Structure formats: structure tokens, C-alpha cells
Structure 1
């Protein structure tokens, strides 16, 4: 635990919003591997940027090349992975950037902690459940991970030998086996417009 530290800041969030004329938020996409989280997040990020809204995608694989390269996939490491991402996403949101996080984030308590972190800072947190039957996810399996998990090559794989705790009350519930990527993006954009996060 760090001691003898003091938070330093000279520009408040309200002042940032006034200066930039933009609002930050965290769009938290959660779901099984191969559910379509990253695909939807990539499309949404591109769309927001084209509309002139600062957006940045934090992807489950990408952050393990740097920020979280010291973490494995045990429950403890998954908890720490999500804790770090929650803090980074909150900083982006505070900086009037829309953070798009695409992480399996299988445990409800970790997602609840991410939400509370944002709520305490009075920053928007939008949980998006990217839902798909596991049979469909396994059929997609673009990285071959389900196959390796079934063979016992990969341990602690969500949906196979580790649980996925589905969100009970997400702000947005997508079904990527029934909706196109464009329809998913439009659903999220409509929510952001209705909440006046984007104009």
C-alpha cells in the first residue's frame, strides 16, 4: 500500500467538460470469449471518432502486452486485471474521453466494483452485456481457445471450467447471434444520445 501520497489536480471535471464541450464515460462491454465484444467496441470507437467524440478502446488482449503483462488468468489475477482497467477507464472518463472496455470480466463483484468507482466519481458507467449462447461462441472460436480449453490445454477458461456470471441489470443487452454489428452500435449510440453523453 502506498503511503504519504496526496492527490494533485488543478482542473476539475466540470471545467474539462466546459472547456472541451465533451463528456466522458465508460462503456463496459462484458461477455464470453468470442461473443463479439471487441468487434462491437472497434466499430463503436471508429463511429464515435468520426462523429468527433474522443474515444479509446481498452481491449482484454491488448492491455496484457503492457499494463497487465504480469498477470495470468487465475481468479486473483482476473480480479486485479479488472481493477486496473477500472481505474484506467475512470481516468479516461474524467478526462472527457469515452473509454470502451471489452473484457470478459466474468465476476459480478469485479464489474460492480468498477461501477462503484465511477459512481463515486460521478462519472457515467454503462454496462453492456454482449450475450451469445456458448454454442455459438464455440462455433466462432476465432482464436481456437475453446478447442484448447476442451482439450485441457488451457485451464481456468471462462464458460468451460471457470464460471461466467451474467449481468443481472445491464444498461444495454446485446444479442450478437441475432443482431448485426451495425445494429449493436446503433443501440449503444441511441443510449448515449438519450443519456446526453453524446450530442
Structure 2
């Protein structure tokens, strides 16, 4: 991070800064998942709320901001390119839906779920974070009600979230937003102590 300010004019450095930071956050997300799982199985609501809250309300939004700051990590560019082959608006909408489907469900019913997954700005916020949020919310409801977690029921609910993303029609930026260094530095200060302990 100390060398970053002098190298930020280099596109390759910015890419690497985003990619390495992205990978560290992805690895940390695995540990937060383990904490969430352990808290649920131990029926410890405060720990579940803490770990779930950090993941859903801080780590994933920070990751989305980071990804949106570098042009090579933008969902909007992928969707714009897909739509550019269309001859009219209905065809552009179809290509948009197909491009989203390829990254997520890979079929109308999630035949090969996440087969071509990407960690891109926009996709992180409106697809992955929404699934994580529903997962944590479902576990909290199970602890509150005393009912067991039912994977089949959850799969049906999360599929509705996934289908919603494919057809939401939201436009995503094709231009980077935010200062990559500032975002990565903030993430570093916030998560470096945890990364040292866990990675």
C-alpha cells in the first residue's frame, strides 16, 4: 500500500491492486461464512448477527465499490458489449438477459449455477450480496422461530432472487467510479488485522 500512490497511473498496477484486494476479501468472506455457520449451529444469535452483518453490510459493499473503481471489473461493460450486437430494443433486452444468465444461472432453472461466475462491480451488489443477505436473514429467522434450516425451501427462495437479477433491466456503469487507491486503502485499514489472523 505504501508504493500504491506513486504507481496508480499504471493501469496494470490498478488492476493488480483491485484483483489482490478482491481475492483477500473473497478469502475473508469464507471465514465469515464459517463464523455464520458456527454461530447458527451453536444457536448464538449475537455472533450470527455480528458476522452476518459484517459480511452483508460492510465487506460485500466495500468489495462492490472496489470492483466498480476499475474498468476491467465492471458488469456494465459486459452487458453493453452484449447489447451492442442487437438490431433493435427487444433484441438488446434479450442479449442483456442472456449475458446476465451466462454469468449466474446458466439456464432457465439454474442448471449449472455460477458456472461462469465473475466478481464484478454491480454483479457483487445486485446478485451475490442479495443471496448472502437472504441466507443470513433465513438463518436469523430459523433461530428466532426455533425451526430448522431447510435447504430446499431456501433454494427456492434464493432462486427468485437470482431470476430477479436476470430480468431486472438495471443499467450498470461502464465507467469506473471512485478512487481505487482510497477504496483499497480503506479496506486494508479495516480488514488487514483480520486477514493477518485468518489468512
For the pair shown, the structure with the greater C-alpha radius of gyration is 2
TM interval, shorter chain, is under 0.3
More strand by share: 1
TM-score by length of 2: 0.27
TM-score by length of 1: 0.27
